[in-house]
Amino acid sequence: MSILLQISDTHFGTEQVMVTEALVTLAHQQRPDLVVLSGDITQRARPAQFRAARAFVDRLGAPVLAVPGNHDIPLLDLWTRLRSPYERYSAAFGKDLEPVHCSHDLLVAGVNTTRPMRHKDGEISALQVDRVARLFERSEPAQLRVVVVHQPVAVARAEDVTNRLYGHEAALQSWAEAGVDLVMGGHIHLPYVIPLQGLARPIWAVQAGTAISSRVREGVPNSVNLLRWGADAAPGACQIEQWDYMAENRIFLLAKVSDIRLART
CA 161 to chain centre: 18
pTM, two decimal places: 0.95
In a domain, 67, yes or no: yes
Whether 138 shows a pLDDT value over 80: the answer reads yes
Nearest one of 219, 214, 146 to 185, comparing CA atoms: 146
Q: Are the C-beta atoms of residues 177 and 137 closer than 8 Å to each other?
A: no
249-263 pLDDT, tens digit each: 999 999 999 999 887
Contacts of 236 (CB under 8 A, 6+ apart): 261, 262, 264
What's the confidence (pLDDT) of residue 233? 63
DSSP assignment string, 155-168: -SSGGGGGGSPBTH
Cβ-in-10-Å burial (0-12, 13-18, 19+) of 162 comes to exposed
80-129 pLDDT, tens digit each: 777 889 999 999 999 999 999 999 999 999 999 999 887 789 999 999 99
In a domain, 196, yes or no: yes
Question: Which domain CATH number covers 59?
Answer: 3.60.21.10
Whether 142 shows a pLDDT value over 70: the answer reads yes
Q: Residue 136: which H helix or E strand, with range? A: helix 126-137
For 66, the domain range is 2-213+228-261
In a domain, 207, yes or no: yes
Amino acid at 193: V
Q: What is the dihedral of CA 106, 232, 38, 109, to 10 degrees?
A: 10
In a domain, 76, yes or no: yes
**Average pLDDT score over the chain:** 94
In a domain, 222, yes or no: no
What's the confidence (pLDDT) of residue 263? 79
Domain count, the chain: 1
What's the confidence (pLDDT) of residue 231? 65
Q: For the residues 193-203, what does the mean pLDDT come to?
A: 94
In a domain, 219, yes or no: no
Q: For the residues 230-254, what does the mean pLDDT come to?
A: 88
In a domain, 223, yes or no: no
